[in-house]
């Protein structure tokens, strides 16, 4: 570890603790502001398929983004854990029954069709201004993005988090997928030109 840079485990624990101090009302307001910023990006891009997620614990709730996408006839896929630590992006429509997966995440059933997203909305436990994110530490998103790239697919990556989850620096590794945008309730951080 470089002097002055905390390890991922410490950064993750501290960011989660800060996120968990937000009130329910604060998270709802923050999620609404984040949705407005993310929808502005989606309105400009007009992707055919986006990947979102169902929130767990105190995560940002992307529900308003998902609802907007459906209204705009943009297909929505949700990540489902398959084969241990890989993700499949399964099509989701409002009202679909969801299965419970690892960590209490929810995803469409195994029989649902899959689709490759053009943009991935990624939850984050912590982030820094280089576009590096911390998830739960099992590499689900990194492996899935790498698998898409191996097939010639390069979705834009939009990380969503509350501003209290920002950290000064995350020790990045070669396999870490960096975000193209990070959206908080306070700002949109643009990190790379859209692919």
Ordered mean pLDDT values, 10 residues apiece, the chain (195 residues): 66 96 98 98 97 96 98 97 85 93 87 96 96 88 92 96 97 88 98 68
Instruction: Give me the pLDDT at residue 5, please.
Output: 57
Instruction: Give me the pLDDT at residue 16, please.
Output: 96
Longest CA span, the chain: 49
Query: What pTM, to 2 d.p., does this model score?
Result: 0.93
Instruction: Give me the pLDDT at residue 194, please.
Output: 54
CA distance 58 to 19: 7
Instruction: Give me the pLDDT at residue 133, please.
Output: 95
Closest Cα partner for 119 from 38, 49, 43, 31?
Answer: 49
Instruction: Give me the pLDDT at residue 86, please.
Output: 81
Instruction: Give me the pLDDT at residue 3, please.
Output: 38
CA distance 169 to 133: 10
Backbone angles phi, psi at 111, to 5 degrees: -80, -10
The topology (CATH level 3) of 8-190 is Rossmann fold (3.40.50)
Classify the C-alpha dihedral 35-41-45-50 as positive or negative: negative
């Amino acid at each position: 570890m470089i002097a002055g840079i905390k390890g991922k485990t410490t950064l993750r624990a501290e960011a989660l603790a800060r996120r968990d101090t937000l009130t329910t009302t604060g998270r709802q307001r923050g999620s609404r502001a984040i949705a407005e910023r993310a929808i502005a990006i989606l309105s400009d891009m007009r992707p055919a398929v986006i990947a979102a997620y169902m929130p767990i614990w105190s995560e940002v709730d992307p529900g308003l983004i998902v609802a907007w996408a459906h209204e705009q006839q943009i297909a929505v896929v949700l990540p489902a854990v398959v084969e241990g630590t890989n993700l499949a992006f399964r099509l989701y429509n409002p009202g679909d029954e969801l299965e419970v997966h690892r960590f209490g995440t929810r995803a469409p059933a195994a029989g649902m069709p899959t689709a490759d997203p053009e943009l991935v909305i990624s939850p984050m436990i912590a982030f820094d201004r280089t576009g590096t994110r911390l998830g739960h530490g099992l590499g689900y998103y990194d492996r899935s993005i790498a698998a898409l790239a191996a097939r010639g697919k390069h979705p834009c990556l939009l990380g969503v988090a509350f501003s209290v989850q920002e950290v000064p620096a995350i020790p990045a590794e070669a396999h870490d997928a960096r975000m193209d945008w990070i959206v908080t309730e306070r700002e949109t951080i643009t990190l790379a030109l859209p692919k």
